[in-house]
Structure 1
Amino acid sequence: MQAIGLIVEDDFQVMGLATLSAFEFANAVLHREAYRVTVMSENPGLVRASIGLAIETAPLGDMPDTLVLIGQLRPRPTSAALRDYLVRAGVEARRIAGICTGAFALAAAGLLDGRAATTHWGHARTLQDRFPRVRVDADKIFIVDGKIWTSAGMTAGIDLALALIEEDHGSEVARNVARRLVVYHRRPGGQSQFSTLLELEPRSDRVRRALIYAKENLANPLSVDELAAAASLSPRQFSRLFRDETGQSPAKAVEQLRIEAARILIKDGRHPLDTIARDAGFADRNRMRRAFIRSYGHPPLSLRRSLRLIDGVRGG
């Protein structure tokens, strides 16, 4: 039996509790208590989530095998007591995980110094600014660096929990748990968050609405007129506002969204490049190739070959 310690603090994000179900169903799949979960906090008793409901917690005590820190909607300063407990965990726990903004507390304890880590894309820049010794990658669902695991926000915590279960009990058990949770088995840690939207970081709802429309309709031509209509602006107003807020033209932003979508499909490895070019909204494979070279300096075929090489090394 492995002990899982789940740490929550006031205003924790309730979606993080979904990880409890992953370990619960792992016990059901294995027909034994493979995991015993304790929800803990610095101040034991009732701890309130950001939405208002409360959960009973135990005090920080004996170190569990795996410590999981649930994030908050907005990261708060880490108390000295929690920081000391996390420093101790860095020595005593087998694994330590931070879900969403839980990475901020891990960073405050020095556990992410020199390591790669991720968090919710909306907080990635803040994490990097506050903790420059952390190698923040906002483009990942979750990252494993040694004994430290970090994930993006919301449902990415489930992907992290499934990966923990897979490490402990194999892929078949993790697949069965995913089926019981009615989720995809599991998204790979390297899958992208909304990185292009993060980089563009529009300030107004109208430009943000146009970008979301573009991301959801890549098969469309996505002309300036079409995007302006999604933003409820004239084409001239939209082009000026878009460049003011993002620093680039709508056409360039759409190309980045198409490249991002194509890259995810290439990593998936199940589709020919012609199909990927069409699904990502490129007119043909050659246009996709030129866009990849402009952005990455190499064609999509090179990305596919490198991924196959990595898979071959892992398989060996």
Structure 2
Amino acid sequence: MTRHIVLLAYPNCQLLDVSGPWQVFASANALSPVPLYRLTLVADAPGRVMTNGGLAVHAQHAYHELPDLPALDTLLVAGGSGVIQARNDAELLNLLRQLAPRVRRVGSICSGAFLLAAAGLLDGQRVTTHWRHAHQLAEEYPALSVEPDALYLESGGRYTSAGVTAGIDLALSLVEADHGAALAGRVARELVMFLHRPGGQSQFSEILRGQQRAGPLKRLVDRLHADPGGAHTLESMAAQMAVSPRHLTRLFRRHLATTPCTYLTQLRLEQARMALLDEVQSVSLERLAERWRLGSAEQLRRQFQRYYGVSPSVYRQRFHTARA
């Protein structure tokens, strides 16, 4: 069965909010012996739609033609600065309300959530959007339960995602739901990315965020990033800062909301995760645990599961599927 996916754009939408999910579905088609998705781009009028990056996309239909399009399966709304004007379009809001009960999946990328919220389609649901706009979304639409740190969420048949590249993760999750992990993995491999980040994963890299918040710890944090596999101990790290171990722990808690040893473990786990991607067929957990000073293979397995929400074997299996 070919599923009809419609993406809704408008002037000054975010280019990647349109092209990212579109390419995921297009790649799924290219990797399948039969077409899996029919893709349609709609806007206020057919033809050229200028995105907020200055590059135009071409809409095949006007949004008022949506009720006449055959067998709509999924409707995704792009985000972008133009959403502020789009959500004031009463005709578009009414159309979305009418269409929603007839469409299996309705979702948004990034600030596209504002358009669905204005139409009343997210009331009572858990939703997310770009972290920069999450507070505004929650303030303007109190009937929503906004989770600002999620990559994407499904709640009550509504799908919302965070900024820009999270729309790709959302689209991959839809492909996996429709056609299984093997195809989603092949699409991810084709797009040179990991299978897809779990929806509940933080929008931020904890490691990058640590570097940004480090304050007086920045020199030490930079050294740890440069050599996470080094023979670092609480005492040696404290000595580099010319403070006591107890005071170093206080500094880490104050500026990074963690302990020095936990922060170092996260750095090492990130190196182990990247090694799993680089050496899918040959790497062993024993080798990784030894290389990155993460204890035994079982200790690495438990810490990996706790931090990434998936076991190393599942992570490796999924990427191996994509590579194959």
Q: TM-score, normalised by structure 1?
A: 0.68
By how many angstroms is 1:12 displaced? Answer: 0.9
Q: 1:195 to 1:179 in 2, by over 3 A?
A: closer
Alignment of 1:56-95 (within 5 A): 56-57=58-59, 58-60=61-63, 61-63=65-67, 64-73=72-81, 75-77=83-85, 78=87, 79-95=89-105
Q: Which residue among 98, 105, 114 is the counterpart of 1:104? A: 114
Answer whether contact 2:25 2:175 (CA < 8 A) is retained: yes
Label 1:279 to 1:106 Cα distance change in 2 as closer, same or farther (>3 A).
Answer: farther
Are residues 82 and 74 of structure 1, via their aligned partners in 2, closer, same or farther at CA, if it must alter by over 3 Å?
Answer: closer
1:38 corresponds to 2:16:
no
State whether structure 2 residue 131 is matched by structure 1 residue 151.
no
- 1:262 deviates by 4.7
Over the aligned positions, Cα root-mean-square deviation in angstroms equals 4.4
| Structure 1 residues 74 and 125: CA distance shift in structure 2, 3 A | farther
Aligned to 1:19: 21
C-alpha distance 177-255 of structure 1, shift in aligned 2 (>3 A): same
For the Cα contact (< 8 Å) 1:138–1:195, is it kept in 2? no
User: Structure 2 stretches of 5 or more lacking a match?
Assistant: 242-249, 277-284, 296-302, 315-324
8 Å contact from structure 1 (residues 141, 152) kept in 2: yes
Provide the C-alpha distance between the structure 1 equivalents of 2:29 and 2:12, rounded to a whole number of angstroms.
29
Check whether the contact 2:13–2:83 (CA below 8 A) recurs between aligned residues: no
Which consecutive unaligned segments of at least 5 residues does structure 1 have?
Answer: 228-247, 285-299, 312-316
Residue 307 of structure 1: how far off its partner (Å): 8.4
Structure 1's 177 and 80: CA in aligned 2 closer, same or farther, altered over 3 A?
A: same
Decide which structure has the larger Cα Rg and report it.
2
CA distance in 2, matches of 1:196, 1:74: 30
Check whether the contact 1:118–1:140 (CA below 8 A) recurs between aligned residues: yes
Q: Quick one: which of 249, 253, 256 aligns to 2:255? A: 253
Amino acid at match of 1:23: F
| CA deviation after TM superposition for structure 1 residue 73, in Å | 4.2
C-alpha displacement of 1:146 = 2.5
Return the offset for 1:75.
4.3
1:297 maps to: none
Matched residues, percent identical?
Answer: 33
| Whole-Å separation in 2 of the counterparts to 1:44 and 1:74 | 17
Match of residue 291 from structure 1: none
**Residues 109, 160 of structure 2: 8 Å contact kept:** yes
Does structure 1 conserve the Cα–Cα contact (< 8 Å) formed by 2:11 and 2:82?
no
CA contact (8 A) 1:74 1:101 kept: no
Distance 2:251 2:9 in 1: 43
**1:65 partner SS:** strand
Question: 1:10 matched to which residue of 2?
Answer: 11
Q: Deviations over 1:104-142 (max 9, x none)?
A: 111111111110011111111111111111111111111
Deviations 1:18-72 (A, max 9, x none): 2111111111222222111111012332110011111121111235210011100
Letter in 1 for 2:125: R
Task: Give the aligned partner of residue 192 of structure 1.
Answer: 202
Aligned partners of 1:196 and 1:256 also within 8 Å: no
Runs of 4+ in structure 1 deviating by more than 3 angstroms, as ranges, are: 216-221, 248-251, 256-259, 300-304
Query: Deviations for 1:60-106, whole angstroms, at most 9, x for unmatched residues?
Result: 12352100111004741401122112212321110011001111111
Aligned mates of 2:104, 2:181 — CA distance in 1: 20
Q: Distance in 2 between matches of 1:75 and 1:250?
A: 40
Is this contact kept in 1: 2:48–2:58, CA < 8 A? Answer: yes
DSSP 3-state at the match of 1:113: coil
Tell me how far apart the structure 2 counterparts of residues 124 and 196 of structure 1 sit (CA, whole Å): 19
Return closer, same or farther for 1:25/1:302 CA change in 2, 3 Å cut-off.
Answer: closer
User: C-alpha separation between the residues in 2 aligned to 1:127 and 1:195?
Assistant: 23
Matched, 1:162 2:164: no
The TM-score, its normalising length taken from structure 2, stands at 0.66
